[in-house]
Amino acid sequence: MSSALKQTPLHAVHIESRAKMVDFGGWDMPVAYGSQLEEHHAVRQDAGMFDVSHMLNIDISGADAEAFLKRLLANDVSKLSIPGKALYSCMLNPEGGVIDDLIVYFFSSDSWRAVVNAGTAEKDLAWMQQVAESEKFDVTLDARRDLAMVAVQGPNARAKLWATRPAWESATGALSPFTGAVVADDVLVARTGYTGEDGFEIVLPVDQVVALWRDLEQNGVRPCGLGARDTLRLEAGMNLYGQEMDEQVNPLISALAWTVSLKDPERRFIGRDALEAAVVDRCLVGIKLLERGMMRGHMKVQTSLGEGELTSGSMSPTMGTSIGMARVPVGVQPGDAVQVEVRGKWLPAEVVKMPFVRNGKIVA
Give pLDDT tens digits for 179-216. 999 999 999 999 999 999 999 999 999 999 999 999 99
Mean pLDDT along residues 48-69:
98
Bond preceding residue 355 cis, omega within 30 of 0: yes
Instruction: Tell me the per-residue pLDDT of 68-87, one tens digit each, with 9 for 90 and over.
Output: 999 999 999 999 999 999 99
DSSP string, 291-349: SS----TT-EEEETTEEEEEEEEEEETTTTEEEEEEEEETT--TT-EEEEEETTEEEEE
Confidence of residue 3 (pLDDT cuts 50, 70, 90): low
Integer-rounded Cα Rg, in Å, for the chain is: 20
CA distance 128 to 125: 5
Q: Note the pLDDT of residue 114.
A: 98
188 and 84 in a common domain:
yes
CA distance 148 to 54: 8
pLDDT at 2 exceeding the cut of 50: no
CATH number at residue 234: 3.30.1360.120
Mean pLDDT along residues 123-150:
98
Would you say residue 264 lies in a domain? no
Give the 3-state secondary structure percentages of the chain, helix then strand then coil, rounded to 5: 25, 35, 40
Would you say residue 350 lies in a domain? yes
- State the residue range of the domain holding 354: 281-362
197 and 55 in a common domain:
yes
76 and 3 in a common domain:
yes
Mean pLDDT along residues 141-160:
98
- Pair 118, 25: CB distance under 8 Å: yes
State how beta strands 187-190 and 337-342 pair.
unpaired
Would you say residue 263 lies in a domain? no
290 and 231 in a common domain:
no
Mean pLDDT along residues 297-321:
98
Instruction: Tell me the per-residue pLDDT of 233-289, one tens digit each, with 9 for 90 and over.
Output: 999 999 999 999 999 999 999 999 999 999 999 999 999 999 999 999 999 999 999
